[in-house]
Amino acid sequence: MSARPQSSTRKIAIIGGGVIGLSIGWRLAASGLSVALFERGKAGHGASWAAAGMLAAGSEVEPGESELFGLLKQSQANWPAFAAELAQASGLDVSLRTEGTITIALSQDEVGRLRQTYALQQQLGVNSQWLTRTEALEREPYLNPRLAGAILVPGDHQVENRILVQALKLAFTRAGGSLFEGIGNAGIKTASGRAVGVSAGGIDYPADTIVVAAGPWSPEIEGLPAIASPPVRPVKGQMTALAMDPTSPILTHVLWTQKAYLVPRRDGRLLIGATTEERGFDTAITAGGMLSLLESAWRALPGIEEMPIIESWVGFRPGSRDDAPILGETSIEGLILATGHHRNGILLTPITARTIARLVLTGETDPAIAPFGLSRFEDQDSKGTKSWKSA
Residues that bind ligand GLY (CB under 6 A): 52, 54, 60, 237, 273-274, 317, 343
> Is there binding between residue 326 and ligand FAD (CB under 6 A)?
no
Q: Which stretch binds ligand FAD (CB under 6 A): 46-54, 224-232, 278-286, 376-384?
A: 46-54
Query: How many Å apart are CA 215 and CA 249, to the nearest integer?
Result: 34
Compare residues 250 and 337 and give the one whose CB is closer to ligand FAD: 337
**Which residue, judged by CB position, is nearest to ligand GLY in the bound state?**
343
Element containing residue 263 per DSSP (H, E): strand 260-264
Residues 297-316 contacting ligand FAD, CB under 6 A: 315-316
- 330 makes contact, choosing from ligand FAD, ligand GLY, none, with CB < 5 to 8 Å by partner type, with none
User: Per-residue x/- mask for ligand FAD, residues 161 to 200, rule CB under 6 A?
Assistant: ------------------------xx--------------
- Show the site string, 254-283: x = touches ligand FAD by CB under 6 A, - = not: -------------------xx---------
Binders in 336-375 for ligand FAD, by CB under 6 A? 339, 341-347
- Distance between CA atoms of residues 328 and 338, nearest Å: 7
The CA R_g of the chain, rounded to the nearest whole Å, is 21
Residues 6+ apart with CB under 8 A from 110: 104, 148, 258
> Which residues, listed in sequence order, are joined to residue 157 by a DSSP beta bridge?
55
Residues in Cβ contact with 275 at an 8 Å cutoff, skipping those fewer than 6 apart: 236, 237, 238, 289, 292, 293
Does position 53 bind ligand FAD by CB under 6 A?
A: yes
CB of 273 to ligand GLY, least distance (A): 5
Pick from 25, 34, 36, 46 the residue near ligand FAD by CB under 6 A: 46
One-character DSSP codes across 197-249: EEEETTEEEE-SEEEE--GGGGGG-TT--GGG---EEEEEEEEEEEE--TTS-
The nearest distance, CB 301 to ligand GLY, in angstroms, is: 18
Using DSSP, state whether 193 is helix, strand or coil.
coil
Torsion of CA 30, 35, 38, 42, to 10 degrees: 20
Is 207 a residue that touches ligand FAD (CB under 6 A)?
no
Interface positions with ligand FAD (CB under 6 A): 15-21, 38-41, 45-48, 50-54, 185-186, 213-215, 217, 221, 237, 239, 273-274, 315-318, 339, 341-347
